[in-house]
Structure 1
């Protein structure tokens, strides 16, 4: 614990800002029901009401409190993006490490499947699949995780190919260690730095991708609060000089910046082989 605190104290200002932003967003997401002044779907006033002491950020097109929707949107958008990113890394990362270690037809087979999936534009593929299977939280997570797993596969395989030829991996092979041992004890610890950086970037991309799908109407479905759909629902307000629809976009941008600050710092701290 003392070592972690000392490490945080020595972190650059950008990393401290990023950590503060992530903690703040996480706090808002966890305690959304207690922080929001109104319910997530509660109609509390007239549509497009102006900012006031009663409605700090005004109301949306249906008369729901924008501040409350922003707070609940943090919970919904961040949680789905986080689960999706973890699933993408479990599937794509393990597949990439296994392909690098085993080689041969396993490597070729997995690589060709990934090539086919990556040849299709990500947004078009997601729109096609979601329009067929329907849009709900489970299908959204599975589809985006599958698409992002291809990118994770490529990175983890490329990084692992430089590690599997190291002497300590060859020594483990000669000792008769199995695939699980080689992945968890030999290869994975030495591929963590780029994978950690990619996790942060993937989280941001998934975060933005979910918001984009919601903006197009195929992401998180109403009446569930989501930052992407909030921009779409209130976009008309921009024509009247009201920048309220930009608040969800600013929330997305701010979290993206914070995550990237932390990723840069973690990558700097964890770089180098641990042989």
Structure 2
């Protein structure tokens, strides 16, 4: 009798190991079949993440070191020259990856926590709670988000916590609409009704029954929301109300060096300088969209005919 529990637990552990191994094998097979665009996107994202994580070791100079001459040319210790107050542009590009991407990532997570949580509550509770939350979201979505963000940042200040919270709240409205829409199709399923009849709490039903069945569209939406948040932060920084100096940010770097474009006919490298952070923004956006498109293709059951 004493050997039975041990035998069962050993078999159960072996089964779990095999299941994890099978999932990993399926993931490797899917990665091998991924198109070139998806591989390009994943490589670019991995490179950006690597640069963001190891920015202090990769950058040749400090983020706010302004001890050099203004507008120094490319080369001579400065790969992309210096900006208007003598800061190394290459170092600020590297630190900009950490700041811009890090803030956008945290903002997107907060937007999903707020919008996703409210969307699940609205879908499963319905009634007056659904109506109140939905009408409040409609009011927020009726106001152009960029203009609303400019107004709120002018009132509460352009600190990083304010920037994260304001953009997360404004962007959570889109997450709420998607979460509520996909969750409404799941809450009517029999297994959800059975869980509620068993007396399971609202949080348990949302976490164990609804959320696992709506993850694919939410994961795809996370990639798209990250792009929109990333571009919004860059736009606000370009307008002067986003990430404030001396913190490096790609949007503010475009604004600070925009005047160099008019000298492109005399010095091509100087004219290209403002395009470097703009190109970094565009490249990451395209890469994330490539990966999201591939993920949607896999989770939707569609197949590439080529």
TM-score, normalisation: structure 1: 0.95
Q: Aligned ranges for residues 153-168 of structure 1 at < 5 Å?
A: 153-168=176-191
d(CA) in 2 for partners of 1:58 and 1:218? Answer: 26
Question: Any conservation in 2 of the 1:44–1:65 contact (CA below 8 Å)?
Answer: no
1:227 aligns with 2:256: no
1:201 aligns with 2:224: yes
Residue of structure 2 equivalent to 1:180 = 203
- Residue range with higher mean Cα deviation, 44-53 or 252-261: 44-53
* 1:199 Cα deviation after fit: 0.5
d(CA) in 1 for partners of 2:81 and 2:259? Answer: 14
1:148-199: CA deviations, max 9, x gaps?
A: 0111001100111111122222222222222112211111111111111110
Residue of structure 1 equivalent to 2:13 = none
SS at match of 1:221: coil
d(CA) in 1 for partners of 2:297 and 2:76? Answer: 45
Residue of structure 2 equivalent to 1:76 = 99
Structure 1 unmatched ranges of 5 or more: none
d(CA) in 2 for partners of 1:268 and 1:190? Answer: 17
Residue of structure 2 equivalent to 1:46 = 69
* 1:271 Cα deviation after fit: 3.5
Q: Aligned ranges for residues 89-100 of structure 1 at < 5 Å?
A: 89-100=112-123
Higher relative contact order (CA 8 A, sep 6+): 1
* 1:16 Cα deviation after fit: 1.2
When the two structures are aligned, how many residues end up with a matched partner? 272
d(CA) in 1 for partners of 2:291 and 2:64? Answer: 34
d(CA) in 2 for partners of 1:6 and 1:215? Answer: 42
Residue of structure 2 equivalent to 1:60 = 83
SS at match of 1:176: coil
1:212 aligns with 2:235: yes
Residue of structure 2 equivalent to 1:16 = 39
SS at match of 1:163: coil
Highest CA radius of gyration, 1 or 2? 2
Residue 260 (structure 1) aligned to one of 261, 274, 289: 289
d(CA) in 2 for partners of 1:156 and 1:197? Answer: 12
